[in-house]
Amino acid sequence: MSYKKEFIEFMVRSGVLTFGDFTTKSGRKTPYFVNTGNYKTGAQAARLGSFYARCIEENIGQGKISGQVTALFGPAYKGIPLAVAASIALATEHGRNVNYCFNRKEAKDHGEGGTMVGYKLQDGDRVLITEDVITAGTAVRECFPILKAAADVTVEGLIISVDRMERGQGELTAIQEIEKEFGIKTYPIVTVREIIDAIHNVPIDGKIVIDDEMRAKMEAYLQQYCVK
């Protein structure tokens, strides 16, 4: 089994990838939803970090991401455990010791102060941003002034759980908008198309979560909102 299919099944078992009737922040009615806030155990965090690390290593191996990445940045709040868990997995499973850091929502005015926690970014650092899912790209856009204020860094790219493959604020996908605006690539562990292909009519623990009816709903949603 590929790590991508393992990841899809892991999300379903963790209650992170769910199917039904939902409304996104943008007001779109969607038949599926990804909520990484539902991860809650140490075992889940360990496996999640492993999947992120495997995605990073795969893209380094393909020459898409530099092997000289010095830090993972996790935007508050959901990106924080992703950066920490991924850095642990990179060290323990791949022998790659990478720093991690994240931001506070509000600046601290006592102690060491500032908005950043963890590794202190330095000029010349190569940073990967870890996020869950990009819908409109708002959280990612907020990252760049934070990172640039910390040091003169190069953002190597963005690692996310799922590419929903749908339009952002205009006619491009949110991922394409981020690339056009900031010149960085996004590397999803899986896409919604890979999710459909992997588990349509395939039972997970004896239950089929994407049957013909659910697939039809997902295809209709993609037809309406997906960028071809």
| Catalytic site positions | 108, 110
Whole-angstrom Cα distance, residue 121 to residue 115? 12
Half-sphere exposure of 114 (CA within 13 A, CB side): 14
Amino acid at 141: R
Query: Torsion angle, CA of 226/10/209/133, rounded to 10 degrees?
Result: -20
Q: Which of 140, 128, 25 is nearest to 76 (CA)?
A: 140
User: What are the structure tokens assigned to 137, written together?
Assistant: 């790209």
Omega within 30 of 0 (cis) for the link into 77:
yes
